[in-house]
Amino acid sequence: MKALILSGGKGTRLRPLTYTGAKQLVPVANKPILWYGIEGIVAAGITDIGIIISPETGEEVQAKTGNGDRFGANITYILQEQPAGLAHAVKIAQPFLGDSPFIMYLGDNLIQSDLNLFCDKFKTELLDALILLRPVSNPSAFGVATVDSKGKVLQLVEKPQNPPSNLALVGIYFFSSKIHEAIASIQPSARGELEITDAIQQLINGKTHVEACQLEGWWLDTGKKDDLLEANRIILDTRVTTAIYGEIDTGSQVIGRVQIGKGSKIINSTIRGPVAIGDNCHIENCFIGPYSSIANQTMLIEADLEHSVILQGAKIDSIHQRIVDSVIGQRAHLTAAPRRPKALRFMIGDDCQIELA
CA distance 127 to 116: 15
Length of the chain, in residues:
357
Q: What is the pTM of this model?
A: 0.88
Mean pLDDT over residues 317-321, rounded?
87
Mean pLDDT over residues 95-119, rounded?
93
> Which CATH number is 2-224's, of 3.40.605.10, 3.40.50.720, 3.90.550.10, 3.40.50.300?
3.90.550.10
- Cβ–Cβ < 8 Å for 265, 251: no
Mean pLDDT over residues 275-301, rounded?
97
143-166 pLDDT per residue, tens:
899 988 777 888 888 888 888 899
195-212 pLDDT per residue, tens:
999 999 999 999 899 999
Higher pLDDT, 45 or 330: 45
22-39 pLDDT per residue, tens:
778 888 999 999 999 999
Output the pLDDT for position 62: 95
Residue 11 pLDDT exceeds 70 = no
Mean pLDDT over residues 13-22, rounded?
53
- Beta-carbon contacts of 241 under 8 Å, excluding residues fewer than 6 positions away, are 257, 259
- Cβ–Cβ < 8 Å for 48, 101: no
CA distance 195 to 345: 36
- Beta-carbon contacts of 12 under 8 Å, excluding residues fewer than 6 positions away, are 18
CA distance 355 to 317: 10
Mean pLDDT over residues 305-333, rounded?
91
Confidence category of residue 21, pLDDT binned at 50, 70, 90: low
- Beta-carbon contacts of 331 under 8 Å, excluding residues fewer than 6 positions away, are 312, 313, 314, 350, 351
Output the pLDDT for position 149: 79
Output the pLDDT for position 20: 52
Output the pLDDT for position 61: 93
Mean pLDDT over residues 253-271, rounded?
97
160-191 pLDDT per residue, tens:
888 889 999 999 999 999 999 999 999 998 88
C-alpha distances in Å from residue 147, one per residue of 123, 155, 167, 186, 297: 20, 7, 9, 22, 49
Residue 56 pLDDT exceeds 90 = no
Mean pLDDT over residues 76-82, rounded?
95
Residue 341 pLDDT exceeds 70 = no
How many CB atoms within 10 Å of residue 321?
Answer: 14
Compute the half-sphere exposure of residue 155: CA atoms within 13 Å on the CB side of its CA: 8
Output the pLDDT for position 48: 98
- Cβ–Cβ < 8 Å for 216, 104: no
Q: Where are the domains of the chain?
A: 2-224, 240-356
Confidence category of residue 338, pLDDT binned at 50, 70, 90: low
> Considering only 216-220, 231-235, 324-328, which range has the smallest mean pLDDT?
216-220
Q: What are phi and psi of 134, to 5 degrees?
A: -150, 130
C-alpha distances in Å from residue 45, one per residue of 38, 175, 259, 351: 11, 16, 29, 39
- Cβ–Cβ < 8 Å for 41, 104: no
At 122, is the secondary structure helix, strand, or coil? helix
- Cβ–Cβ < 8 Å for 327, 228: yes
Output the pLDDT for position 355: 56
DSSP element (H, E) containing 238: helix 225-239
Output the pLDDT for position 343: 65
CATH architecture of 240-356: 3 Solenoid (2.160)
Output the pLDDT for position 336: 74
Higher pLDDT, 322 or 221: 322
